[in-house]
Amino acid sequence: MKVNPFDDAYMKLALEEAQKAFQAGEIPVGAIVVRNGQVIAQAHNEKEKRQDATAHAEMLA
């Protein structure tokens, strides 16, 4: 398995997104989309805020 030296930085961004969800009373999940080493999207759960069962972090990102 090839280890990307940026994995820790990407995980930190995802955890920051999860913290935003937690502070908003959501289930604390964050998602980061990376393409060719560049973050192209990031989001956190907003199911309760949007009253939308599809507003998962992964879907929003």
What are the residues whose beta carbons fall under 8 Å from the beta carbon of 25, sequence distance 6 or more? Answer: 48
Identify the three-state secondary structure at position 33. strand
Asked about 17 being catalytic, the answer comes back as: no
**CA–CA distance from 56 to each of 3, 8, 49 (Å)?**
27, 22, 11
- Residue from 17, 26, 48, 58 carrying the catalytic annotation: 58
Active site residues: 58
